[in-house]
Structure 1
């Protein structure tokens, strides 16, 4: 303890911890589950896009601007959800890289 006196020039060692796939059992199964959830999210985004496009079409053809507007919003939201599902791994890796740079 006496070696770490202020101004002595000694600093404690740095911590070097990185993620690993061997630390806990079941990590590979968890990765499989996350991949399946991503697939479900993409499939549901496609379903939402189809339903929203149909609502948009019905609203436009029946002179119902409120329904057409809701359909347009649904199309945008479903596309945004698909982008987030598809980009989730890249976004997390980017955030990890930003965090490592701090």
Structure 2
């Protein structure tokens, strides 16, 4: 039987890589907020100008921005969940 666990100290630079990944997650969340604001503005302009195509694009943008924020925020939990599932196989 082989029992191998992730080693957080096995390679140099692991801690710096964790910091970089955390910074990228922060940038992803900030960009999601920006995309949500822009999409909401587009949705509002489309609704107020009676332009259903623009309003539809704005609604889609709001949903995509929210989905991106969910994925960025839950990425660590999702990876840990699937790691646990993989360990149970």
- Give TM-score, length-normalised by structure 2: 0.99
**In angstroms, what is the RMSD of aligned CA positions?**
0.3
Aligned residues: 89
Q: Where does structure 1 lack aligned partners over 5 or more consecutive residues?
A: 1-13
Alignment of 1:32-43 (within 5 A): 32-43=19-30
Q: Which structure ranks higher in relative contact order (CA pairs < 8 Å, sequence separation ≥ 6)?
A: 2
Moved over 3 A (4+): none
Q: Which runs of 5+ in 2 are unaligned?
A: none
The alignment's TM-score, normalised by the length of structure 1, stands at 0.87
- Aligned equivalent of 1:94, options 69, 81, 87: 81
Structure possessing the higher radius of gyration over alpha carbons: 1
